[in-house]
Amino acid sequence: MEDKVIIFDTTLRDGEQVPGCQLNTVEKIEVSRALEALGVDVIEAGFPISSPGDFRSVVEISKAITSPVICALTRAVKKDIEVAAEALQYAKRKRIHTGIGTSPYHIKYKIKTTPEEILRRAADAVKYAKKFVEDVEFYAEDAGRSDNEYLAKVIEAVIKAGATVVNIPDTTGYCLPEEYGTKIRYLKENVTNIDKAVISTHCHNDLGMATANTIMGVLNGARQVEVTMNGIGERAGNTSLEEVVMILKSHHNLGLKTDINSRLIFSTSRLVSTLMSMPVQANKAIVGRNAFAHSSGIHQDGVLKFRENYEIIDPHEVGIKESSIILTARSGRAALNHRLESLGYSFGKEELDDLYHRFLLLADKKKEINDEDLRILSGEVYSGERALKLELLQITCGKSTLPVATVGIRINGEVHTSTATGNGPIDASFTAVRQLISKTVHLEEFLIQAITKGSDDIGKVHIQVEHQGKIYYGFSANTDIITASVEAFIDAISKIK
Ligand code: KIV
Ligand code: ZN
């Protein structure tokens, strides 16, 4: 039988402490509903005494949410506890989370008192909270830097006072995973009444070890984890929900499970990111834009042969439609062909070789090749060899400079060059082209379009020229719009019989 790990989500409390990420009550209700659907067990809805807005949010979340326990934070102060109890009055299932610092730093420099006094205040706060709610969680702030023997005494006292959950925060994100795991084990083995409470982890990510510490806590006996969506939180953030959930899910041999519906992870992550105006870093585990994106040729080939060659999680499991193959200069033929087939193209080996060659030329100029680029490249392959081909284009232009263009065109296997001036680089190039051909052509239409928004993107050029009363169409696409324009012009001219 698998042991359940309780998911305590503090996105709306510790996560919301991030400067600039504050949500209004309506947005908090939206996030709470998403967290409920996701399957979290506890929602820490706020710190009611801290502001009227936080108070109101706890009240409204309490009314809106049915299944998860709604938790409100307090200091070990009577007034805080009273206000939290009032804010929780509509909650179907409620918890007060009270606590005090237990590290030498907090005792001596923050609270300026003695360890004995802290012990007394901790137990008193829990006893007082018990007058309002049955479910009381105690946090030993800065437990990560607290002496284990002293911490054990405090934990024993608060459990005796009625704490149902004991939270062991690594408030400053200082602990090493081994050290944090040992701390949890120490409490498990030395607090005589520990079986009467659930041990909770609450890790910060200052040294990038929040998830590792949380997992070590769980492996050593903790059965609740305090986490936030996308790992948001003060400074470097809190342990991220999605990482812990997917670690436990991927390593099912650990015999630990959560009630999270992992398929809702991605949508919840995006909701939190959007509402909090907090972008998710591209390489963020599980929910980052690149978490399931493969760009090197070897990896792309491996994933296309068998997904698990390079993926330990099926992206569907976290609500992402599919792994993406990013087409770059490092992609191989297999990846290119795979994408072309998904776009409905089918090429023989020689055509694919030609397309791959053009693809690499373009990919060298443009970081990422998108589907529109591929359609254009495919169109080029279909159109076959051109009678006229641009081989050289050299432009001089700029402010206070007369535009001059030199073009080299292959005509019947031989390259001919010509130089001309104009009122701009395109005009100069077109005049140079005209000097090389024996036909009279009039430019009827000339359209340049950027395909998407990036400055590194491809420009598409459509041209119509008139020759002896007939219209001929030319097209080209290139990251260099002047080259695209000249190629489109030549393309149109080459169609004249
Ligand atoms: O990091 C911390 O110690 C906290 C407590 C208030 C639980 O957020
Ligand atoms: Zn915290």
CB-ligand 1 contact for 181 (6 Å cutoff): no
Ligand 1 pocket member 106 (CB < 6 A): no
CA 146 / ligand 1 centre spacing (Å)? 14
Q: Is 93 in the pocket of ligand 1 (CB under 6 A)?
A: no
**What span, in angstroms and rounded, lies between the C-alpha atoms of 119 and 375?**
70
Q: Is the CB of 68 under 6 A from ligand 1?
A: no
Q: Alpha helix (H) ranges present in 88-176?
A: 104-105, 115-130, 148-160
Q: What is the CATH number of the domain that holds 78?
A: 3.20.20.70
Q: What pLDDT is stored for residue 453 in this prediction?
A: 59
Q: Are residues 162 and 92 in the same domain?
A: yes
Query: Does residue 286 sit within a domain?
Result: no
Same structural domain, 261 and 316 = no
Strands 470-478 vs 459-467: parallel, antiparallel or unpaired = antiparallel
Q: What is the pLDDT, as a whole number, of residue 388? A: 85
From 275, 307, 325, give the residue that closes a domain.
Answer: 275
Is 383 within the bounds of a domain? no
Residue 447 lies in a domain: yes
Tracing tokens 């535009």 back to the chain, one arrives at 403
Q: Please choose, from the candidates 210, 211, 271, the residue with its C-alpha nearest in 3D space to the C-alpha of residue 243.
A: 211
Residue 27 near ligand 1, beta carbon < 6 Å: no
Please report, for the domain that includes residue 448, its CATH number.
Answer: 3.30.160.270
Q: Which residue has the tokens 């928004």?
A: 453
Q: Which residues contact 89 (CB under 8 A, 6 or more apart)?
A: 59, 62
Of 248, 275, 302, which residue is a domain's last? 275
370 shares a domain with 248? no
Q: Give yes or no: residues 95 and 199 share one domain.
A: yes
**Residue 383 to residue 240: CA distance in whole angstroms:** 52
Q: Please work out whether the CB of residue 141 comes within 6 Å of at least one atom of ligand 1.
A: yes
Q: Are residues 343 and 262 in the same domain?
A: no
Q: How far apart are CA 135 and CA 414, in angstroms?
A: 88
Q: Is the CB of 75 under 6 A from ligand 1?
A: no
* Ligand 1 centroid distance, CA of 402 (Å): 67
Report the nearest atom of ligand 1 relative to the CA of 142.
3
Please report how many Cα atoms fall inside a 13 Å half-sphere around the Cα of residue 344, on the Cβ side.
3
Distance 391 CA to ligand 2 centre (A): 63
- How many structural domains comprise the chain? 3
Per-residue buried b or exposed e for 241-266, using 16+ beta carbons within 10 Å of the residue's own CB: bbbbbbbbbeeeebebebebebebbb
Q: Ligand 1 within 6 A of 139 CB?
A: yes
What pLDDT, on a 0 to 100 scale, did the predictor assign at position 462?
83
Separation between Cα atoms, residue 425 and residue 396, nearest integer Å? 7
Domain identity same for 392 and 370: no
Q: How many CB atoms lie within 10 A of CB 23?
A: 20
In a domain, 283, yes or no: no
Q: Which two tokens stand for residue 272?
A: 């939190």
Q: What does the angle CA 269 – CA 273 – CA 277 come to, to the nearest 5 degrees?
A: 175
Question: Cα(19) to centroid of ligand 1, in Å?
Answer: 17
Ligand 2: centre distance to CA 21 (Å) = 16
Measure the CA dihedral 366/372/378/382, to 10°: -130
In this structure, the answer to whether residues 107 and 179 fall within a common structural domain is yes
**Are 98 and 133 within 8 A, CB to CB?**
no
| Distance (Å) from CA 234 to ligand 2 centroid | 7
Whether 37 is in a domain gets the answer yes
458 lies in which domain range? 388-494
Same domain, 267 and 301: no
Nearest atom (ligand 1) to Cα of 238 = 1
> In angstroms, what is the span from residue 168 Cα to ligand 1's centroid?
9
Residue 167 CA: nearest ligand 1 atom is: 7
Strands of 459-467's sheet in order across: 442-450, 459-467, 470-478
**Structural contact between residues 376 and 460, judged by C-beta atoms closer than 8 angstroms:** yes
Mutation choice for ligand 1 from 13, 141, 213, 235, CB with most ligand atoms inside 8 A: 141
Closest ligand to C-alpha of residue 97 is 1
Q: For residue 485, is it within any domain?
A: yes
Residue 204 Cα: closest atom of ligand 1: 1
Give the pLDDT confidence score for residue 366 in this predicted structure: 79
Counting every residue written for the chain, the total comes to 497
pLDDT at 491: 84
- Which residues touch 214 (CB under 8 Å, ≥6 apart)? 201, 203, 222, 225, 227, 239, 244
Query: Do both 484 and 355 map to the same domain?
Result: no
CA distances from 102 to 144, 151, 171, 335 (A): 9, 7, 11, 56
Residue 21's identity, in one-letter code, is: C
Which residues pair with residue 478 across a beta bridge? Answer: 459
Question: If you measure from the C-alpha of residue 14 to the centroid of ligand 2, how many angstroms do you get, rounded to a whole number?
Answer: 6
Q: DSSP letters of 137-150? A: EEEEETGGGS-HHH
d(CA 210, CA 217): 10
Rounded to an integer, what distance in angstroms lies between the CA atom of residue 300 and that of residue 327?
Answer: 9
Quick one: which of 406, 447, 408 has its CA closest to 428?
406
Do the beta carbons of residue 84 and residue 72 sit within 8 Å? Answer: yes
Ligand 1 center from residue 209 Cα (angstroms): 16
Q: What residue ranges in 158-237 does DSSP mark as E strands?
A: 165-170, 198-203, 224-227
Question: How does pLDDT run along the chain (497 residues), one tens digit per residue?
Answer: 789 999 999 999 999 988 888 899 999 999 999 999 999 999 999 999 999 999 999 999 999 999 999 999 999 999 999 999 999 999 999 999 999 999 999 999 999 999 999 999 999 999 999 999 999 999 999 999 999 999 999 999 999 999 999 999 999 999 999 999 999 999 999 999 999 999 999 999 999 999 999 999 999 999 999 999 999 998 999 999 999 999 999 999 999 999 999 999 999 999 999 999 899 999 999 999 889 988 788 888 888 888 888 889 999 999 998 778 889 988 999 899 988 888 778 888 988 998 999 899 888 887 788 877 887 888 766 554 467 889 999 999 998 899 999 999 988 778 899 999 999 999 999 999 999 988 889 998 888 877 665 777 778 888 888 898 888 878 888 888 999 999 999 988 987 87
pLDDT digit string, tens, across residues 440-484: 899 988 888 776 657 777 788 888 888 988 888 788 888 889 999
In a domain, 280, yes or no: no
Do both 334 and 402 map to the same domain? no
Last residue of a domain, one of 224, 249, 275: 275
The model's pLDDT over 194-230, given as tens digits with 9 standing for 90+, comes to 999 999 999 999 999 999 999 999 999 999 999 999 9
Q: Please tell me the pTM assigned to this model.
A: 0.75
Q: Based on the domain organization, do 374 and 397 belong to the same domain?
A: no
Q: Are residues 96 and 229 in the same domain?
A: yes
DSSP 277: T
Strand pairing category for 3-4 and 256-257: parallel
The reply to whether 421 falls in a domain is: yes
Which ligand neighbours the alpha carbon of 137 most closely? 1
